[in-house]
Amino acid sequence: MKKIQKIGMFLFLIIAVVSCFKLEQYPPEPQIEFIDFTFVDTVDGLENRVLNGTLHFSFVDGDGDIGFDTIQPQQNTVFLEKFKYQNGVATSIDLLIPLNYFVPKFVTEGNRKTLKGEIIINDLDENYPFNGDTVFYKFYIVDRAGNVSNIDSTGNLIIN
């Protein structure tokens, strides 16, 4: 009888411990969170002074379908819009080349579909006159199912 009680107690402890480890559930829409933005002062190929910016943010996607195959045509995953302040009002900057970026397909392991990670985008150039301008970026991502994330922002970035 004591052997049965020990086995029963052992099974109870295993079930109690396993039940404490719940898998986190996330929605199928990606969620992003701004981490950091840095500038590096440099020159371009024509010896013009430019600031290269690097955007760093995290993401979580409940169904793990971030990024696309590298087969043509490439579909963009990350979308940015750049703003500056004019007379104290945030105004979108009309750029010749859209700030959209391709991210290769992430692969999840095993049965876990949730995907967490970080994305770093380099070489966001600031190459207009530097007179104490303040800019910021708003950005979001879109997964393969077309689910759009929340929109996040870098906050104000002062260009000296």
Q: Which domains does the chain have, with CATH numbers?
A: 26-158 (2.60.40)
Report which DSSP code applies to 98.
Answer: -
Q: What is the pLDDT of residue 99?
A: 87
Distance CA 147, CA 129 (A): 37
Report which DSSP code applies to 53.
Answer: E
pTM: 0.77
Beta-carbon contacts of 96 under 8 Å, excluding residues fewer than 6 positions away, are none
Report which DSSP code applies to 28.
Answer: S
Q: What is the pLDDT of residue 52?
A: 83
Q: What is the pLDDT of residue 148?
A: 95
Residues of the chain with pLDDT under 50: 129-130
Beta-carbon contacts of 4 under 8 Å, excluding residues fewer than 6 positions away, are none
- Are the C-beta atoms of residues 52 and 124 closer than 8 Å to each other? yes
Burial class (CB in 10 A: 0-12, 13-18, 19+), 144: middle
Beta-carbon contacts of 61 under 8 Å, excluding residues fewer than 6 positions away, are 26, 28, 29, 30, 31, 114, 115, 116, 143, 147
